[in-house]
Amino acid sequence: MSYSQCMFGLEVTETMGDSSYWLQKYYRVLSSKVERIYTSSLHTDMTIAIEEKKYECHRAILCAFSSYFEAMFASGMKESISGIVKIEGTDSSLFESILDYIYKGSNVVNEENAEDMLAAATFLQMECLRTRCEEFISEALTSANCFETWRMAVWHSNQYIQQQAWMYIMSNFVKIAKETEFLLLEKDELVSVIKDDLLNTPDEDFVVQSVLTWLQHDLNDRGQFCEELFSYLKLPLTKWEFLIEMYRKYPFLKEYSECQKYIEDGKHIYRQPAHRHDSSSSAIAYRSSSSHEDILVVIAHRPSIPGSRNVLALGFSSRKWYYLDSLPYDPGVDFATCVYSNDIFLTGGSLCDRGFLQYRAPRNEWMDYRNWSMQTGRIQHTMAVCSKKLYAIGGYFNTPQQGYKLLSSIEEFELGSDGWIEVGALAVPVSSTSATSYNEKILLFGGESCDRIETATIQCFDTKTQTASVIGQLPIASKLTRAIVCDSYSYVVLTNGTIVQLDHRTDAVTIAGQMENFARSQFGLSQRLGSLIIVGGQIITPDSKATKLYFSNMLMYDLFSKKVNIMGETLPPPKVIEGCHKITQEKKFLCVEYVDRGIHYVPFTFESVEMALLTSIVNNRRRLKQSTE
């Protein structure tokens, strides 16, 4: 048997045999009886005094709703004996509404009393009423009241409303920045907004414009904050046209030398795409809400599975691995890579020692430059970039007559040209080395010299004079080193975990740190926000004939605190790393996610999946055309 009734404005059909029906009927009966004993003042056993008014209540009912009253009557306090409770600092009309909520279940929270009701519910430890207040206040958020609400939540130490208000601010920044309330923010509040990675903005130009508008609103008083605010702006991520027009549009900036320094630093990064990723500053890190994401590209091989052409990338914001466009061919092992801006270049390898590939990030596409192959085939060499020129350095060349020959030669490829040329030679021929570059100079760290002897030499090749020299020594002779630039220093990680620092200003070499129990080779190395990132690698064992094992973990070494932590992400699957670079990629290309079993598409947008499929088709057609030519 069933019948229909109206509850909360909705027609609900209940079945008498359903347990929920009897439970709802029980609640209705209980609610009506509780309301009746309140309105008739039956069986009251306590009195609450607020201002000049007194309210006759029931201990059991108040204790059921309020942990404050429950603790009071269970503690033996004088109120539990006298039955009279005086509450200070609460308006009597507000408390009447609270009693209506307790005894009648009335919806007593409204726009006028929400904040006071929240304060009272918090004081009386009424969790249910507090939750109702939190929901009401959060649902009433607007671009005009969100900061006021956030401040109120901070004042009352209400984490829920504070979080909801802040997320509203982050999600609606474009609209909020146009409100009058935005111009009235305190400096510390504005800093909290612009430094938050979750800030949703169309671009960094808008953030900078909003800050400058805030400054101009009261420049006489706020000018003192100009330099501090600029330290949090991501000027290198603004448009070039915006950067070069800043002094014209905002002439007051000429009065602040530190602001000019930040602007010029942003211009410098634009002018030096080869070193765009060398900075540890958060100013070059994209926000998680951006259409771009900083990624760590790993080019590797699995010794147990030859022929793999997959290229994987870890998103620093999403914390997920993705497939990028596959290599056009399998280069084998012992190839070299380098990065210019956001493009990655690959040369040589055991299966194509004169090969030359370019990953074009704006199109998620690998290009095969067979017509521009290196003059000399190379394996176990290294690469570096200076200005708009690529360099392939040292390594081995396999000759049919003499077998493997150690090379000292250095080849150069100028971007936009049509071929490689030999431009110099190393002071000490080496293979299995690593390289960094700065100020038109290339540094090489360790490696193997003649007769497979490990060396500790640090060499410098001056690309202007095309001469090489030995400028220092590593603490120990070491091959298979990995090196990276971070600000004004080159950092070299040796296979025993020693971290060596070379100061670009003085060429001074020091030991910057030591990672215990490291013992790995052929790992990847990159840096982000002042921390070294060590990826995978082969476990070094005393027995050369033992089965080779590989690390799957990723380490992060903080250059400031000198602490090493294991990252939550793991390398899928454990591999020997040949290339490891941090670049920036559009999220529309990060749509094919790596999973342990097969591949699935990330639910980013339908356009993302369509773009990935289209890119794959176009790239395959281009390769087919190249191969037929």
Give the whole-angstrom CA distance, residue 280 versus residue 529. Answer: 4
Domain-embedded: residue 627: no
Domain-embedded: residue 168: no
Spell out a b/e string for 114-150, using b for 16 or more CB atoms within 10 Å of the CB, else e: bbebbbbbbebebeebbebbbebbbeebebebbbebb
In the predicted model, what is the mean pLDDT of residues 299-313?
A: 78
Give the whole-angstrom CA distance, residue 263 versus residue 553. Answer: 39
Q: SS3 for 528?
A: strand
Residue 458, pLDDT above cutoff 60: yes
CATH number of the domain that 206 lies in?
A: 1.25.40.420
457 shares a domain with 427: yes
Give the whole-angstrom CA distance, residue 524 versus residue 77. Answer: 67
Model pLDDT, residue 307: 57
Q: SS3 for 29?
A: helix
Number of H helices, E strands in the chain: 19, 35
Model pLDDT, residue 12: 45
Model pLDDT, residue 14: 52
Domain-embedded: residue 220: yes
pLDDT tens readout for residues 101-146: 999 989 999 999 999 999 999 999 999 999 999 999 999 999 999 9
105 shares a domain with 249: no
In the predicted model, what is the mean pLDDT of residues 209-222?
A: 96
Last residue of a domain, one of 90, 124, 140: 140
588 shares a domain with 461: yes
CATH number of the domain that 132 lies in?
A: 3.30.710.10
How many domains are there within the chain? 3
Contacts of 468 (CB under 8 A, 6+ apart): 410, 424, 425, 426, 427, 459, 460, 461, 462
Share above pLDDT 90 across residues of the chain, in percent, rounded to a whole number: 73
Domain-embedded: residue 74: yes
Lowest mean pLDDT among 44-53, 244-253, 358-367, 534-543: 534-543
301 shares a domain with 401: yes
Give the whole-angstrom CA distance, residue 357 versus residue 579. Answer: 13
Domain-embedded: residue 615: no
Structural domain that includes position 534: 292-595
Share above pLDDT 70 across residues of the chain, in percent, rounded to a whole number: 90
Residue 441, pLDDT above cutoff 80: yes
Q: What pLDDT band is residue 20 in, cutting at 50, 70 and 90?
A: confident
Specify the residue for token string 């990995």.
Answer: 482
Last residue of a domain, one of 249, 275, 301: 275
DSSP 589-610: G--EEE-SSSEEE-SS-HHHHH
Model pLDDT, residue 76: 79
Domain-embedded: residue 150: no
DSSP 8-state assignment for residue 587: G
Residue 3, pLDDT above cutoff 50: no
Residue 503, pLDDT above cutoff 60: yes
DSSP 8-state assignment for residue 614: H
In the predicted model, what is the mean pLDDT of residues 583-610?
A: 67
Torsion, Cα of 261, 263, 269, 272 (10° steps): -80
In the predicted model, what is the mean pLDDT of residues 593-607?
A: 54
* H or E segment and range at residue 262: helix 257-271
* H or E segment and range at residue 86: strand 84-86
DSSP 8-state assignment for residue 253: G
Between 133 and 27, name the one with better pLDDT: 133
Q: Across the chain, what does the average pLDDT equal?
A: 89
Give the whole-angstrom CA distance, residue 190 versus residue 259. Answer: 17
Domain-embedded: residue 527: yes
197 shares a domain with 133: no
Specify the residue for token string 């298979």.
Answer: 480
244 shares a domain with 326: no
332: left (phi over 0), alpha (psi -120 to 50) or beta: left
CATH number of the domain that 465 lies in?
A: 2.120.10.80
- pTM of the model as a whole: 0.82
528 shares a domain with 388: yes
Max Cα–Cα distance, the chain, nearest Å = 111
Model pLDDT, residue 599: 44
DSSP 8-state assignment for residue 417: S
DSSP 130-196: HHHHHHHHHHT--TTTHHHHHHHHHHTT-HHHHHHHHHHHHHTHHHHTTSHHHHT--HHHHHHHHT-
Give the whole-angstrom CA distance, residue 18 versus residue 199. Answer: 49
Q: What pLDDT band is residue 196 in, cutting at 50, 70 and 90?
A: very high
Q: What pLDDT band is residue 232 in, cutting at 50, 70 and 90?
A: very high
pLDDT tens readout for residues 408-432: 999 999 999 989 999 999 999 999 9
Which residues are bridge partners to 389 per DSSP?
386, 414
Q: Does the CA dihedral 18-20-23-25 come out positive or negative?
A: negative
Residue 291, pLDDT above cutoff 60: yes
- How much helix, strand and coil, in percent to the nearest 5, is found in the chain? 35, 30, 35
566 shares a domain with 442: yes
491 shares a domain with 392: yes
Give the whole-angstrom CA distance, residue 247 versus residue 243. Answer: 8
Residue 255, pLDDT above cutoff 60: yes
Model pLDDT, residue 608: 42
Residue 592, pLDDT above cutoff 60: yes
127 shares a domain with 92: yes
Model pLDDT, residue 335: 96
In the predicted model, what is the mean pLDDT of residues 70-85?
A: 86
In the predicted model, what is the mean pLDDT of residues 158-181?
A: 96
Domain-embedded: residue 624: no
455 shares a domain with 390: yes
With beta carbons less than 8 A apart as the criterion, state whether 575 and 550 touch: yes
188 shares a domain with 85: no
